[in-house]
Amino acid sequence: MPVDWGRNGPDLMMTLDRNGTPLLVQIQEHLRTAIREGRLKSGERLPSTRRMAEHLRVSRGTVVEVYEQLVAEGYLDSVVGSGTRVTEHLGQDRPQQKHPTSAPPDRSVIQFDFEYGIPDLRSVPLREWAWAVAEATRTLPTASLGDEEPAGSPHLRDVVTAYHRRVRAGCATADNAIVVGGFRQGLAFALGMLARTGIGAVGLEDPGPRDHDRIAERAGLVAVPIPVDADGLDVAALHKTPARAVLVTPAHQCPAGVALSPARRRALVAWADEVDGVILEDDYDAEFRYDRQPVGSLQGLAPERVIALGSVSKTLAPAIRIGWILAPHRFRDALIEEKRLSSRGAPGLDQEALALFMESGRFDRHLRRMRELYRSRRDVLVREVTELFGPASLRGLAAGCHAVLLLPTDVDEDVVVDVARTLGVRVSGLGRYLSAPSPADPALLISFGNITEGQLVSGIHAIAEAVRRVTSLDVSGRA
């Protein structure tokens, strides 16, 4: 699909020889060639005759004559009110146009998307965010439009750390904070910095996001899987490894959904003290809790041992690519150097907008609204799964926007995933998050962040039908 340039769109690259072939002929041939080669796409708007004439330093009459000739030849269309455009569908099958080969498109239509990690995109507070961007544009001093401080916006660092202290029981200050372009960038910086300080291995929760293995390996670290049970990360197993760093999701483990128990929290801090280690805390959806008291951040428990990583990808939207690192002072300069050599981080205007959005109370109002929305969806999920699969079929329900659906022990979760896709359902098996094939009970990861209640009900029924087809057993009792 061509870009729909406005009337003042960019000029065309065209070099003319003013001592050779007549300029009219040269311009015609330049445009024909650009269209044939696909540099100008079907439907793409050309500059106005006046704009083209000024750019090429020729008379407007020359350009008018060029356009009229190419309209007559069928290369261009000229419509009053729409300007002059390349003829629709012209040249799409010409052999001169080279298109990269790609995999054939997936013909299955996804109606019910339980894919993990996406918040409710329909509920992103765009009007409030537009207010914040406008306010940042209006109030930001001119001097702040240059290169930002290496650690990021002082205003945003003040607000983020104050929020973390107030809501997550942390103890970081603005001096501990570094603004980055999202969680993954923060994690890459942190792991790269640890590798350069002499740490050779990092423990990663198993099950857990397997992309973290590759991020660790790119940073020069050995990724060591550490099992997770009903109490969270198995610290005793961690003790048996060479790891001196570990990445944990203590408030709501991804993907199992368990919280790190108080005893395990104390044991994890003791491990870090014993091995002179570092705990990387991913605080990804701690704001969304339902049936329990909030769990405080590990950073507040052991500020000299914990690097806390946060972002707004789950609380607002992934497209607002802003995150932060809250780190002990001893790591601050090294982390800033990692950032300086790799990236400028998030755009400065967006950082100021986020600071204003949070400081004004709009962020917390949005979170309260989303907490109730997700709670309602979770309750619908529990009701439908209980009826279709029986009680105790769900785990990890106390917080967050996903749960684990246990499947009958005699089914292959990969086959269920494939069959569900033919029924219009996108869902992942728990095995996708394991470091190696495991005899663990088959299960599916059900995310209810970006799906309506009606879609959720229909999607769970479709999953039940997929299980029935795989097992030839009617698990619903009402298919």
Please indicate whether the domains covering 1-102 and 124-360 agree at the CATH topology level.
Answer: no
* CB contact at 8 A, 220 and 240: no
CA neighbor of 58 nearest in space, from 82, 30, 78: 30
| Concatenated DSSP letters of 394-456 | EE--SBSSEEEEEPPTTS-HHHHHHHHHHTTEE-EEGGGGSSS---PPPEEEEE-TTS-HHHH
Lowest mean pLDDT among 1-15, 102-116, 331-345, 367-381: 102-116
pLDDT at position 90 = 63
Categorize the per-residue pLDDT at 97 as very low, low, confident or very high, splitting at 50, 70 and 90: very low
The CATH fold assigned to 112-118+366-471 is Aspartate Aminotransferase, domain 1 (3.90.1150)
Residue 448 CB burial class (10 angstroms; 0-12, 13-18, ≥19): buried
Lowest mean pLDDT among 107-116, 329-338, 351-360, 457-466: 107-116
pLDDT at position 7 = 72
More confident residue, 288 or 312: 312
- Mean pLDDT on 163-183: 94
Residue 105 has pLDDT above 60, yes or no: no
183-196 helix and 211-218 helix, angle to the nearest 10 degrees: 40
Categorize the per-residue pLDDT at 439 as very low, low, confident or very high, splitting at 50, 70 and 90: low
pLDDT over 70, % of the chain: 93
Categorize the per-residue pLDDT at 479 as very low, low, confident or very high, splitting at 50, 70 and 90: very low
pLDDT at position 33 = 92
- Mean pLDDT on 9-19: 86
Place of tokens 């000229």: 78
Domain boundaries, the chain: 1-102, 112-118+366-471, 124-360
pLDDT at position 474 = 45
Lowest mean pLDDT among 84-88, 127-131, 290-294: 290-294
- CATH class of the domain at 1-102: mainly alpha
- Mean pLDDT on 245-262: 93
Arch. (CATH architecture) of 124-360: 3-Layer(aba) Sandwich (3.40)
Residue 164 has pLDDT above 90, yes or no: yes
Tell me: the pLDDT tens digits for 302-338? 999 999 999 999 999 999 999 999 999 999 999 999 9
pLDDT at position 212 = 95
More confident residue, 35 or 4: 35
pLDDT at position 148 = 80
- Mean pLDDT on 199-227: 96
Residue 96 has pLDDT above 60, yes or no: no
- Mean pLDDT on 122-130: 96
pLDDT at position 478 = 41
